[in-house]
Amino acid sequence: MESSSDEEEARTFVQVISEKYNPDNFPYGQGVGVVILPSPPGSPSKDRLFLPSALVLNSRGISKAGDKSDIATFCAHVVELDLSDNQLNDWGEICTIVSNVPHLDFLNLSMNPLSGVELEPSAADTFSRVRRLVLINTHVSWDTVHTLTRHTPELQELFLCLNGYSAVSESQTSCPSLRLLQITDNELRAWAEVRKFGSMFPCLRALVLANNAVESVGETRETLQRLFANLRSINLNNSRLSKWEDIERLNFFPKLEEVKAMGIPLLQPYTTQERRSLLLAQLPSVVLLNGSAVSHGEREDAERFFIRYCQDFPEQELPERYHILVSKYGPLAPLAEVDLSPRCTVVDVRWGERVEAVSLRLEQTVGDLKKHLRARLQLPANGIRLFYLDREMRSVLGPEELKCGSRALHSYGIRDGDEILVVPKVKSRCSSSHL
């Protein structure tokens, strides 16, 4: 009884298409991307549908294919098929679907439970027309991946993210058509595993390794030139690169133009601008860094920054790139350090007949100064006013009262030798006493 119940609950690809694109759901005769064709009396509704070229059937509980002829009728012109987040756990069922979609270019099987189920090589030719294949979070085995790549002569993009891979099983047969491999959010650590992609995918142009724990780029120039002869883009975001040598080795990829290297331990101690400059200076062929284009002016600034950054290193620790840049720009003098913080100055404070030289911290406020002078000169706790006299402009400007208690002293332009007058505040009694 349980097995028959399970059979009844299994949803098929055909059933889901019939539900989603049922003509009854389109009372005006046409849905978005759906054309209803005339059919002879008595024909089932499936014969009256001409489905959109991009078919999205994700999260529908599909576990079976359904009738082959029905699939062929529905999908004669389908090019893209999204079956992500379903219950497909049998490659035979998947092959039944794919073999009846004659023009299939893009197939998304992400989040289907494909762990532990293998694709038979005899059935793999079914996928021969697929050019973009997405197997994210399927935990599909490397054996099945290799079976697929051997039988997809036009495969250009392969997505293997979130599959728990800590190692790479190398295939004896390469896949020369592949241009993009995205294998983010796995558990790869050693470069010895990553290097296998070079021999497996010799024409690879983009390698996305983000969110793996890759610890180094441990390879010689000759080997990287041979294994990754066509690589133009590499994404190492959130890897564990911790040595500048790893950044320098990226130059060994002969055609590399784009690098992403955000969130790596090596760059943690630096500011955002310093990180970009240090990377740029060591990657002379890169024209796109962390998603932003590199201008000629920015590169020159970064290279000059790098010379100054390295010039205090011991001779034996100077990177090769430093010597190359010094030969380009010559030795550069260190940038003068300009202290922009408010400084101290000495002014004459006049209180009645007394004049005393007082050192002021110009970042303090007028209110702070009043407190300081009361303590320093034993002035009255209340009832004083302060006036500022510019020594050079006093005859023209006269005294300026320092009224606002929260205003910083440096905003008045106070300089050495200027004068602060302290006068008692006259209580304003009612002038009627003079009447």
State whether 315 and 356 are in the same domain: no
Last residue of a domain, one of 329, 361, 385: 329
* Same domain for 359 and 311: no
pLDDT surpasses 70 at 381 = no
114 versus 44: which is more confidently predicted? Answer: 114
pLDDT at 256: 98
pLDDT for position 39: 42
What's the pLDDT score for residue 139?
98
Partners of 386 in beta bridges: 422
Answer whether residue 262 is part of any domain.
Answer: yes
Asked if the structure places residue 336 within a domain, the reply is: no
Contact 241/247 with Cβ under 8 angstroms? yes
CATH code for position 26: 3.80.10.10
User: Quick check: is 197 in a domain?
Assistant: yes
Would you state the pLDDT for residue 434? 41
Q: Do residues 285 and 362 share a domain?
A: no
Q: Is 353 within a domain? A: yes
Q: Is the dihedral of CA 65, 69, 72, 73 positive or negative?
A: negative
**Same domain, yes or no, for 208 and 85?**
yes
pLDDT at 6: 45
- Average of per-residue pLDDT across 182-188: 98
> Mean of the pLDDT values across residues 226-244?
97
Rounded Cα gap, residues 229 and 244, in angstroms? 23
Give pLDDT, residue 20: 87
Model confidence at 324: pLDDT above 80: yes
Residue 38 has pLDDT above 70, yes or no: no
User: Is there a single domain that holds both residue 358 and residue 251?
Assistant: no
pLDDT-wise least confident of 137-141, 164-168, 294-298, 355-359: 355-359
| Claim to verify: residue 389 and residue 322 sit in the same structural domain | no
Residue-by-residue DSSP string for 256-319: --EEE--S-GGGTTS-HHHHHHHHHHH-TT-SEETTEE--HHHHHHHHHHHHHHHTTS-GGG--
> Are residues 421 and 319 part of one domain?
no
- Domain boundary, last residue among 329, 358, 388: 329
Domain-ending residue, one of 329, 354, 380:
329
Q: Look at residue 47 and tell me whether its pLDDT is greater than 70.
A: no
Q: Do 110 and 209 have their domain in common?
A: yes
- In terms of domains, do 269 and 190 share one? yes
Verify that 127 and 202 share a domain, yes or no.
Answer: yes
Do 224 and 372 share a structural domain?
no
Name the residue with higher pLDDT: 37 or 391.
391
Q: Are residues 156 and 269 in the same domain?
A: yes
Share of the chain above pLDDT 70, in %: 86
Which residue range(s) make up the domain with 123? 10-329
How much is the pLDDT for 53? 94
pLDDT value for 394: 67
Q: What value does the mean pLDDT of the chain take?
A: 86
Mean local confidence (pLDDT), 64-73: 94
State whether residue 198 is helix, strand or coil.
Answer: helix
Domain count, the chain: 2
pLDDT greater than 50 at residue 3: no
170 in a domain, yes or no? yes
**How confident is the model at residue 335, as a pLDDT?**
61
pLDDT computed for residue 423 by the predictor: 86
Per-residue exposure over 50-69, b if at least 16 CB sit within 10 Å of its own CB, e if not: ebbeebebeebebbbbbeee
Judge residue 413's burial from the number of C-beta atoms within 10 Å of its C-beta, 0-12 exposed, 13-18 middle, 19 or more buried. Answer: exposed
For 260-287, write each residue's pLDDT tens digit.
Answer: 999 999 999 999 999 999 999 999 999 9
